[in-house]
Amino acid sequence: EAEVAQSPRYKITEKSQAVAFWCDPISGHATLYWYRQILGQGPELLVQFQDESVVDDSQLPKDRFSAERLKGVDSTLKIQPAELGDSAMYLCASTTTTRYEQYFGPGTRLTVT
Amino acid sequence: GQQVMQIPQYQHVQEGEDFTTYCNSSTTLSNIQWYKQRPGGHPVFLIQLVKSGEVKKQKRLTFQFGEAKKNSSLHITATQTTDVGTYFCAGRTGAGSYQLTFGKGTKLSVIP
C-alpha cells in the first residue's frame, strides 16, 4: 500500500539554526498539507498545496517558516531560525481532489535545544 | 475561526467497558472525519460522515453526526487493548474546502 514518506524522522537542532523537512506524498495526490502537532494536541495546519500552488498558508509563521512544492510532487518545509517553541511533530499529509480522507506520513519529530 | 472541541481529553477504561468521545464545532460542518493515532504513530483515517443524523458502524465502533451537523460522537463497545490511542475528530466547513480543523483528541487507555 502506498504511503507518504517523510524525512528525517527525528531532528535535534539548536535554536537559531536552520532546519528542513522533506515530504513525498502518495503518487497522484495533488493536495499536500503540512501540520504541526504539539504533544497532547491535535494537528494544526501550517500550509496547504494544490499541485505546486499554495492554497492556504495563513497559519504559517512566515517570518521564519517557508514551504515549497516546486514540481507539484514532493515538498520541503524550512524553519530559519528555529526557536525553542518550534519543538513539535511535523506531519505531512496528502489526498486526492476526489476523496477527502488525508493520508499522513510518519512525521518528523523536531527538538530545538 | 472555526473551533472543534473534544471531550473528554483523557479516558481510562477497563477492558470490556464501553468508551465514547464527543466532538463539538463552533460552526456548521459540511462533513466530519475521525482519525486514530496510536502511541508514537501518525493519524490514520477511520471514517467520514456527511449527512445530518448519519450513523455509521465499523465492527465495535459507532460514529454519529448530529442533526445540526455541529457535533459528532464515536462510541466503542467492549473496548480491547488494541483500541488504545488518541481519537481525533476533524471538521470541514465548505463543501469544496479540503481543509480540516482537528480537535485536541481524546486519549484512550485500556486497562487489561
Interface contact B77, partner A, CB < 8 A: no
Q: Which three cell numbers stand for residue A38?
A: 504539539
- Cβ-defined contact of A45 to B88 (cutoff 8 Å): no
**Inter-chain CB proximity B105 and A41 less than 8 Å:** yes
Q: How far is B86 from chain A (nearest CA, A)?
A: 9
φ, ψ for residue A36, nearest 5 deg: -115, 130
What is residue B95's predicted lDDT score, i.e. its pLDDT? 56
Residue A17: pLDDT band by 50, 70, 90 thresholds? very high
A40 in contact with B at a CB cutoff of 8 Å?
yes
Cβ neighbours of residue A113 under 8 Å, at least 6 residues apart?
A12, A13, A14, A15, A84
Judged by average pLDDT, the poorest of A13-27, A61-75, B92-106 is B92-106
How close does chain B come to A42, measured CA to CA in Å? 4
Whole-number Å distance between alpha carbons of A86 and B21: 29
Radius of gyration for the alpha carbons in chain A, expressed in angstroms and rounded = 13
Residue B3, pLDDT score: 87
Could you tell me which of B45, B49, B66 has the C-alpha nearest to residue B57?
Answer: B49
Does residue B94 register a pLDDT over 70?
no
Q: Mark yes or no for CB contact A100/B103 under 8 Å.
A: no
Instruction: Report which secondary-structure segment, H or E, holds A36.
Output: strand A31-37
Q: Identify the closest residue of chain A to B101 by CA–CA distance.
A: A44
Q: Does A57 touch chain B (CB under 8 A)?
A: no
pLDDT at A96: 87
Chain B closest-CA separation from residue A103 CA (Å): 7
**Higher per-residue pLDDT: B92 or A34:** A34
CB contact under 8 A, A42 and B90: yes
Q: Does pLDDT of B98 surpass 90?
A: no
**B60: left (phi > 0), else alpha (psi -120 to 50), else beta?**
alpha
- Tell me which of A2 and B53 has the higher pLDDT: B53
Best of B29, B97, B98, B108 to disrupt the A interface (most A CBs within 10 Å) is B98
List the one residue out of B10, B21, B11, B16 whose CA is nearest residue B82: B16
The pLDDT > 90 percentage for chain A reads 88
Q: Please indicate if any CB of chain A lies within 8 Å of the CB of B103.
A: yes
Is residue B61 within 8 Å of residue B49, measured between CB atoms? no
Shortest CA gap A78–chain B (Å): 21
Q: Which whole number is the average pLDDT over B43-53? A: 96
Share of chain B above pLDDT 90, in %: 88
Maximal CA-CA distance, chain B: 44
Q: Does A25 touch chain B (CB under 8 A)?
A: no
A28: which 3 cell numbers? Answer: 497522484
